[in-house]
Amino acid sequence: MAKNKFNKNWLHDHINDPYVKLAQKEGYRARAAYKLKEIDEEERLIKPGQVVVDLGCTPGSWAQYIRNKLSGKEGGGINGTIIGLDMLPMDPIADVHFILGDFREEEALRQLEAVLAGRQVDLVLSDMAPNLSGIAVTDAARIEDIIDLAIDFARAHMKPSGALLVKCFNGTGYTQLVEKFRLEFKTVIQKKPKASRDKSSEIFLLGKVLKHPSQ
């Protein structure tokens, strides 16, 4: 009974959520687009001509927002390159290179290298989150694993002057994640966009300029 009540409450909040309504109106696949929009407008992350990689991109609302930011060329197309990677399928988005697979594995990396064609990435985005168990220590370890993957990806593929934006959660282990970012990046900023639900502990970490670039 309690679960049904919770589901009804969530559904009521979801249907009446202004960002859900705005996403439907503006054609975004998820309200998450507005989290990236707010962070981008404050930090000026996405610029014409950039190579942007979106890790865990499905269903694609972040990729849609990036495409809108990079569009404007005469005759369509975009000024820049957008690459989305996910282990779940994604419906196509114009001008977005989607790679289905695990970016730790050879096949996905081979496809990524083919699109990059020797270029380094300007901006790495990760809205990835693990399946949370509700056990604080277990969840903290799962979140840390995903952040580590994103950092490793950035060190391998990003320009030294680039930026990495990741989703994490303000709870057990969060302070250690901030410290980890400070070891890797010259500038570290914590962002809680208005589009994040008030009840959510979700918070975003932004790291700018690698301290120890691998290339």
Torsion sign across C-alpha atoms 207, 85, 112, 144: positive
84 is in an annotated binding site: no
On whether the CB atoms of residues 150 and 184 are closer than 8 A, the answer is: no
> How is residue 41 annotated by DSSP?
H
> How is residue 71 annotated by DSSP?
B
Q: Quick one: three-class SS letters along 89-158?
A: CCCCCCCEEEEECCCCCHHHHHHHHHHHCCCCEEEEEECCCCCCCCCHHHHHHHHHHHHHHHHHHHHHHE
118 is in an annotated binding site: no
Q: Any catalytic annotation for residue 5?
A: no
102 is in an annotated binding site: yes
127 is in an annotated binding site: yes
Q: Of residues 167, 186, 192, 199, which has the active-site annotation?
A: 167
CA distance 141 to 146: 9
54 is in an annotated binding site: no
Which segments are annotated as binding site?
Answer: 60, 62, 86, 102, 127
Catalytic residue set: 167
Residues at the binding site for S-adenosyl-L-methionine are 60, 62, 86, 102, 127
